[in-house]
């Protein structure tokens, strides 16, 4: 049995689905079900005894302690986080509460549980914290990619809150001996991605005939990681990672945002052409850049490949085609996740 937090969100739900399919080991899934947490992502596990869903907050220490005592998981994997940079700029407090305070309370509950374990149960227990490359800040063109030793230089309320959570996790290992593992991943994409992030937003807007908003000159560079590759990396780190260590997870796909948008337009033109025969690129609209927008992220994932034998299975070309196809085949899911409140937020953000 493992306990997963944030397992109804984008990365978390993909992980839970893959975990049950790949290992068959039962999962207790704790999720607050904020706007980006979607119980429908896990509908294929309805009635499956290997998946127990619990609605709740990682900041509720009593609830977490109860789940730990009742189910005795061999590992806790923390996916729970507020993760959208734009939202952190307009409303940072939610990020402080979830990513910092919530992680602290989760760690406290896990620490007290772990101290009560004995023998092999205590020795084998793991706490895996899922984080981001954004804690490292921004890279100049041509600078070496982020390694695990790179200095933390977060530039947004989101990345600062995640950096703080990383530091808490490290401190709980150093001070208390809690057997923690941390992964810092690059930009994920794939199925079940809430359509506020770049790739799903472009797909959804293009199909709806709306503008495709591109910040600034569109030349911000990110490393793109297919979400199922990320899930396989986390499984491998949990299986063989060294407690107290950090593992960067990347897709070896550095690309500027405008190229991502153009690739999506080309795929949609092939798979679902516009009725008027025009290219989807005609819908691209450059908008004012967001405050403090980091110019480049790049992940050096050589450590996880060298020490744990992991590397991504998907190229960007194969992963983005699978992603666009998934959104075309799951239009009902897309429609249901776009509530009135979400549409209002997008309208205000990209006005």
Give a yes or no: residue 282 inside a domain: no
Question: Angle CA(292)–CA(295)–CA(297) in degrees, nearest 5?
Answer: 115
Catalytic annotation present for 133: yes
Token pair listed for 218: 């569109």
User: Out of 57, 82, 134, 229, which one is annotated catalytic?
Assistant: 134
> Which residue among 31, 133, 223, 229 is the active-site one?
133
| Domain contains 68 | yes
Residue 25 structural domain: 2-187+226-250+296-313
**Residue 93: inside a domain:** yes
Instruction: Catalytic residue, from 31, 57, 82, 158: name it.
Output: 158
| R_g (Cα) of the chain, nearest Å | 20
Is 158 tagged catalytic? yes
Whole-number Å distance between alpha carbons of 184 and 291 = 23
Q: Is residue 20 part of a domain?
A: yes
pLDDT-based confidence at 233, cuts 50/70/90? very high
Q: Does residue 214 belong to any structural domain of this protein? A: no
In the chain, % of residues over pLDDT 90: 91
The answer to whether 76 touches 129, Cβ cutoff 8 Å, is no
What pLDDT, in 10s, does the model give residues 102-149?
Answer: 999 999 999 999 999 999 999 999 999 999 999 999 999 999 999 999
pLDDT at 340: 66
* pLDDT above 80 for 161: yes
Of 187, 269, 270, 249, nearest in space to 221 by CA: 187
Residue-wise pLDDT tens digits, 32-76: 998 788 899 999 999 999 999 999 999 999 999 999 999 999 999
Question: Which CATH number covers residue 159?
Answer: 3.40.50.720
- The three-state DSSP-derived secondary structure of 269-315 is HHHCCCCCCCCHHHHEEEECCCCCCCCECCECCHHHHHHHCCCCCCC
Task: Say yes or no to pLDDT of 99 above 80.
Answer: yes
What are the tokens at 125? 């227990």
Angle at the Cα of 116 from the Cα atoms of 113 and 121, rounded to 5 degrees: 90
pLDDT given at position 243: 98
Alpha helices in the chain (DSSP H): 10-23, 61-71, 85-90, 93-95, 103-116, 119-124, 157-176, 198-208, 227-240, 257-271, 302-308, 316-329, 331-337, 340-349
Q: Which residues contact 21 (CB under 8 A, 6 or more apart)?
A: none
d(CA 99, CA 120): 31
Q: Give CA separation, 20 vs 1, 46, 49, in Å.
A: 11, 12, 11
Tell me the per-residue pLDDT of 293-332, one tens digit each, with 9 for 90 and over. 999 999 999 999 999 999 999 999 999 999 999 999 999 9
Q: What is the per-residue pLDDT across 8-30, written as a single tens digit (0 to 9) for each?
A: 999 999 999 999 999 999 999 99
* Total domain count, the chain: 1
CA separation for the pair 292, 66 (Å, rounded)? 41
CA 30, CA 78: separation in Å to the nearest integer? 10
Q: Is 77 helix (H, G, I), strand (E, B) or coil?
A: strand
Q: Please, which pLDDT band fits residue 339 given cuts at 50, 70 and 90?
A: confident
| Percentage above 70 pLDDT, the chain | 98
Has 134 been annotated as catalytic?
yes
Residue 345 falls inside a structural domain = no
Q: Distance between CA 23 and CA 239 in Å, rounded?
A: 12
Domain assignment present for 335: no
Does residue 277 sit within a domain?
no
Residue 268 sits at the vertex; the CA angle it makes with 265 and 273, to the nearest 5 degrees, is 110
DSSP characters over 248-267: EE--S-EEEHHHHHHHHHHH
């Amino acid at each position: 049995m493992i306990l997963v937090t944030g397992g109804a969100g984008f990365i978390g739900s993909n992980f839970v689905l893959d975990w049950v399919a790949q290992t068959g080991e039962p999962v207790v899934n704790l999720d607050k079900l904020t706007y980006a947490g979607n119980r429908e992502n896990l509908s294929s596990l309805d009635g499956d005894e290997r998946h127990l869903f619990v609605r709740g907050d990682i900041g509720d220490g009593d609830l977490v302690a109860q789940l730990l005592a009742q189910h005795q998981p061999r590992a806790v994997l923390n996916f729970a986080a507020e993760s959208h940079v734009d939202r952190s700029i307009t409303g940072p407090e939610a990020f402080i509460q979830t990513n910092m305070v919530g992680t602290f309370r989760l760690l406290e509950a896990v620490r007290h549980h772990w101290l009560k374990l004995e023998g092999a149960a205590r020795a084998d227990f793991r706490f895996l914290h899922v984080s981001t490359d954004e804690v490292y800040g921004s890279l100049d063109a041509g600078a070496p990619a982020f390694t695990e030793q790179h200095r933390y230089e977060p530039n947004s309320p989101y990345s600062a809150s995640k950096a703080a959570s990383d530091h808490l996790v490290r401190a709980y290992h150093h001070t208390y001996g809690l057997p923690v593992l941390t992964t810092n991943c690059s930009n994920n994409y794939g199925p079940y991605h809430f359509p506020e992030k770049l790739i799903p937003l472009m797909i959804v807007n293009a199909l709806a005939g709306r503008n495709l908003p591109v910040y600034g000159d569109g030349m911000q560079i990110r490393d793109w990681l297919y979400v199922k590759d990320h899930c396989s990396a986390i499984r491998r780190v949990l299986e063989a990672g060294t407690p107290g260590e950090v593992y960067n997870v990347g897709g070896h796909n550095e690309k500027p945002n405008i190229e991502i948008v153009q690739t999506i337009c080309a795929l949609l033109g092939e798979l679902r052409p516009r009725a008027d025969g025009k290219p989807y690129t005609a819908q691209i609209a450059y908008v004012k850049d967001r405050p403090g927008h980091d110019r480049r992220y790049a992940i050096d994932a050589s450590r996880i490949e060298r020490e744990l034998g992991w590397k991504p299975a998907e190229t960007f070309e194969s992963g983005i085609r699978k992603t666009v196809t998934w959104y075309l085949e799951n239009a009902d899911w897309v429609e249901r996740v776009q509530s009135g409140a979400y549409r209002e937020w997008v309208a205000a953000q990209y006005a």
